[in-house]
Amino acid sequence: MTSSFLLPLLGGALIGLSASLLLLANGRVAGISGVVGSLLAPVRGDIAWRVLFFGGLLTGGLLLAWLRPGSFAVPADLSSGGALLLVVAGLLVGFGARLGNGCTSGHGVCGISRGSARSIVATLTFMATGVLTVFLARHVF
């Protein structure tokens, strides 16, 4: 096995394990939009695990940036003006997560594994929209 196959497989397994442990230990779904969104309007007694979860995400990203700095290289088309497009896209993703009552991690990782019909439909919608967006960006615009 090459590392190009093994590393994503290991990453996916760690995401699944983390989501399962959070559900078993806290009875909570590992939906990033819900975890972070609830930090913006905190509920007493429900903050510590969210801060630790979010801190783990940031720490993982920082560790990856330190160990493999090329992972965060900015493509040339984003360095000049395309960054605004990236910000707009990020805001649209946030709006979509709010509109869909969850994000790709909550619906795709946790919802599908629990057999939620709503999550299956949401994930299929996310994926179809992503495929359509890439097609339009590469072949039409």
Pair 39, 47: CB distance under 8 Å: yes
What pLDDT does residue 77 have?
61
What pLDDT does residue 75 have?
66
Q: What is the value of pTM for the model shown?
A: 0.72
What pLDDT does residue 76 have?
65
Q: Mean pLDDT per 10-residue run, the chain (141 residues)? A: 78 88 88 84 86 91 88 66 75 80 83 89 89 88 77
What pLDDT does residue 78 have?
59
